[in-house]
Structure 1
C-alpha cells in the first residue's frame, strides 16, 4: 500500500514538472530559451577597422632630379640596401644604371669639342679678316699721301692736269673713308660672331659639367639618419633591384621619423558619418598583440575611393598615435577601434533580443509573457540602447519563444500617433488568437497592441 502511494506521489511530481515546462513562458519547441537581464551602464559605439602604420613626418630620398633635362626619362635601380636598414647621414642607399647617361656624356663631349673647334676657327677667321682690312686702310692712307704729293708738284702744270690730280686725291680720300667705315662694320660683325660662338661654347661647357655633376647623383646616399622604407608603386609593389624610377617622380625611398606615427585606415561609406576629427581610438599591433596604444582621429577624407579588389566605397581616415614605442615600424598592420559615441549611463540589451514588425515597430519578448514595444537609441555591433519600454532588471529572450508568433505587441503610449497601424490591425483580425500561458488572453488584441513580425535589423 505504501509502495503504491509512493508511485502515485512520484508520478504526480513528474506530471507537474512536465506541465510546467510545457506551459512555462521560458519553454520553446526546440529546447530551452536564453533569457538575459536588461542592463544599465556605460554604452559605447565603436567602429573597428584595419590600418597601416605610417610616420607622421618623412624625408624623401630622391634619385636624380635633373635627369629629364638630358632626356633620361627612365632609370633602372642596379643595387640597393635592404628595406628597414638603419642608416646614418651619407650612407649608401642605392646605385642607378649610368649607361644611358654615359651615352649622353659621350655626345656632350663631342658637342663640346666641336664648339671649341668652331670657336677657335672663328677667332682665326676674324683675326685674318680684320688684319686684311687694316692692311687695306694702310695702303689707302699711303695712296692719299701720294696723291697729295702729286697735286703739290703739279702746280706749274696745265690746269687740266691740276684738275685731274685734284680728282685723284678726292677719290683716294673717299676710298680711305669707305675702307675705314667697312673696317668698323666688319669689326662689329666679328665681335657679334665671337660673342655668339662664345655663348655656344659656354652653354656646351655648362651642360657637360651638369651631366658630370648628375653622374654623382646616380649613387644615392642618406640625407639624414633614419630607417630606409622603399616607395610603393601604383600596383602596390615595393620598388626593388631592377625596378625603374621616373625622371618625373624620382622618389626612391623615405626616411621616416619614428618618434611620431599615425595609422592610415579606411571606413566604409555606411559608417563614415559616425567618424569625426578628435574622436579617441584604441590601437593594437598585429605583430605585437600584447601592446595597446591610444590615438585620436586627425583627418577624415571628404571624398570616397574604391580600394583594389573591392566594390565598396571607403573613406581614408588618419589616426595619430599618442605613444611612441621602438617596436613600431612603418607598414605594420594596426587594429583600430574608433570610439564614435559614448553614453555614461544607458539601458541596453543584446541585438538578438530586439525584433521588428512591419519595419516600424521594434519589440522584445519579456519573460513574463509580454511582447513589449521598445524605442531604440544608438547601437553598436552587439547591443542597442533602449530609450523607452524597458527598465533595468527586466528580463528578455534572445530568441523567439514558442508562444511568440501568436502574441500581440504591447505598444508604447508615448509613440501613439507616430505610426500607421491600419495594415497591422487588418492582419490581426484575419489571424486566429490562442491563449498563451503566463500572457494575455486570446481573442482580438487589446487597444495598444499589434501582431508580431520579423527579427530586428541592426539599426
Structure 2
C-alpha cells in the first residue's frame, strides 16, 4: 500500500513539473510574440476623431407662434413652464410645451388699465367737442337772428337821416362780419376737435387691439406639434439641450424639432487647429456607444465658415455635418456619435506602430529581429497618425521588429547590412 502511494506521488510530481514548465514556456512565448511586430502592408488613414450627435438631415421646427413677434405685446422673453419628455412620439396637434403666462397676464392688466384711461379720454373728447361746437352754433344762430333785425332796421332807416342810415348799415355789416367770423371759428374748432378726438380714438383702439393680441398670445402659450414625429429638444447657447425654465422669445423661437428619420446626419465640431484638414466629401466612420458592433459609413457634407466657442473646448471649433450613407431602425436622434473623419488615405503602404520607432543620434531606427539576432535598422518614414506610421524605405513586408528597446542582456549586433 505504501509502495502504491509513493508511486502516485511520483507521477503527480512529474505532472506538476511538466505543467509548470509548459506554463512558463507558454508565458515566455507569449511575451516574445507580444514584443515583436510583423511588418505588413495596409491602407494608411489619417483620422480626426470627434464626438457628435445624431440628427435628422431634415426636420420640422416647433417654434413660438408668430404673434410673439408683435412688438405691441412688449413681452420679449417667455419661460418654459413644462415640456413633453424628449423622444416622445406625438401626433399633429398634440401638446408639446407650455410657456409661463405671468408676464403676459401682467401686461394684460397694465394694458387694460391704460385702455380704460384712453376710453375715458375719448369720451371726454367727444363730449367736449359736442358741447364746444354746439355753443358756437348757438352763437351763430343768435347772430343770424340779430342780422334779420338789423336788416329790418336798415330797411326802415331809408326814411331817416343819412347819418342814421349809415349807422344802421354799419350795425348790419358788423353783425354780418361776426357771423362770418363765428362760422370760420366753427370750422377751425371743428377740425381741431375732430383731430383731438381721432387721436384719443387711435390711442384707445391701439390698447383695444393690443388686448386682442395679448389674448391670442395667451392662447399660444400652449405649443402644439405642427406635424407627427419624435420630439427632439432644440439646443441653446453653449450647445446644451433646452430645458424647463429656459427663456425663449421672438429671436430664439425654436423649442424642439421633429426630425425626418429616413435620412440621418451626425452634427459634430472640429477644433480650429484641425479644420483646414477637413473638406466636403471626406469619408467618415460613425459608431454609437448605444449600438456596439455597428459602424455606419458617412461623408462630410458641410463645414461652417465661422468658428464658435463651445463649452468645454480649449479653442474655437467649427461645426461639421456628416451625412450617414445608411441608417438603422435602432439609430435614433439625440444619440451620441463617435466620428472618425478620414482626411488622408494612402493604399498599400508598409505600416508599423509608432512605438516601434526610436531615435538614435538624429537617425530614425527600428530594432530588426533576424536570424535569431537583434539589429539596428535605419528607416525613412512617411505620413503618420496617432497609432501608425508609413515606412517608405528600410523595411520589407513580413520583417519582424521589436516594439520596445532591447532589454538588459539582449545583445544588439549593430546596423543591419553595415
1:380 aligns with 2:378: no
Call closer, same or farther: CA 1:254–1:130 in 2, change over 3 Å.
same
Residues 407-418 of structure 1 mapped to structure 2, 5 A cutoff: 409=415
- 1:332 Cα deviation from its structure 2 partner: 0.7
Aligned equivalent of 1:143: 146
Mark the runs of 5 or more structure 2 residues left unpaired by the alignment.
1-27
Aligned equivalent of 1:398: 403
Contact 1:66 1:214 in 2 (8 A): no
1:356 aligns with 2:359: yes
Contact 2:376 2:412 in 1 (8 A): no
- 1:376 Cα deviation from its structure 2 partner: 0.6
Contact 2:72 2:210 in 1 (8 A): no
3-state SS of the aligned residue for 2:104?
Answer: helix
Residues 154-303 of structure 1 mapped to structure 2, 5 A cutoff: 154-234=157-237, 238-246=241-249, 248-268=251-271, 271-301=274-304
- 1:364 Cα deviation from its structure 2 partner: 1.8
Cα root mean square deviation, aligned: 3.0
Aligned equivalent of 1:343: 346
Call closer, same or farther: CA 1:338–1:396 in 2, change over 3 Å.
same
- 1:221 Cα deviation from its structure 2 partner: 0.9
- Deviation digits for residues 58-112 of structure 1 (CA, Å, limit 9, x no counterpart): 3332236337643334433333222111112211112222233222212222222
Residues 300-315 of structure 1 mapped to structure 2, 5 A cutoff: 300-301=303-304, 307-309=310-312, 311=314, 315=318
**TM-score when scaled to structure 1?**
0.74
1:133 aligns with 2:118: no
Contact 1:349 1:383 in 2 (8 A): yes
- 1:374 Cα deviation from its structure 2 partner: 1.1
Aligned equivalent of 2:39: 38
d(CA) in 1 for partners of 2:107 and 2:33? 85
Aligned equivalent of 1:21: none
Aligned equivalent of 1:48: 49
**Which one of 369, 374, 389 corresponds to residue 367 of structure 1?**
369
Return the index of the structure with the highest Cα Rg.
1
d(CA) in 2 for partners of 1:313 and 1:106? 46
Contact 2:73 2:213 in 1 (8 A): no
Contact 1:33 1:401 in 2 (8 A): no
d(CA) in 2 for partners of 1:349 and 1:81? 52
d(CA) in 2 for partners of 1:312 and 1:111? 52
Greater CA drift, 361-370 or 279-288: 361-370
3-state SS of the aligned residue for 1:366?
Answer: strand
1:83 aligns with 2:90: no
Call closer, same or farther: CA 1:102–1:274 in 2, change over 3 Å.
closer
Call closer, same or farther: CA 1:115–1:69 in 2, change over 3 Å.
closer
- 1:365 Cα deviation from its structure 2 partner: 2.2
d(CA) in 2 for partners of 1:215 and 1:353? 70
d(CA) in 1 for partners of 2:54 and 2:125? 65
Call closer, same or farther: CA 1:324–1:153 in 2, change over 3 Å.
same
Greater CA drift, 66-75 or 384-393: 66-75
d(CA) in 2 for partners of 1:154 and 1:36? 142
Call closer, same or farther: CA 1:285–1:341 in 2, change over 3 Å.
same
Contact 1:294 1:323 in 2 (8 A): yes
3-state SS of the aligned residue for 1:367?
Answer: strand
Contact 2:101 2:218 in 1 (8 A): yes
**TM-score when scaled to structure 2?**
0.81
- 1:271 Cα deviation from its structure 2 partner: 4.9
Mark the runs of 5 or more structure 1 residues left unpaired by the alignment.
1-26, 411-438, 441-459
Contact 2:239 2:310 in 1 (8 A): no
- 1:304 Cα deviation from its structure 2 partner: 5.6
3-state SS of the aligned residue for 2:41?
Answer: strand
3-state SS of the aligned residue for 1:331?
Answer: coil
Greater CA drift, 394-403 or 210-219: 394-403
- Deviation digits for residues 297-354 of structure 1 (CA, Å, limit 9, x no counterpart): 1234566666544546655432111213332222211122222322222222332332
- Deviation digits for residues 118-158 of structure 1 (CA, Å, limit 9, x no counterpart): 22332222122222222221221222221121122122222
Higher helix share: 2
Greater CA drift, 375-384 or 268-277: 268-277
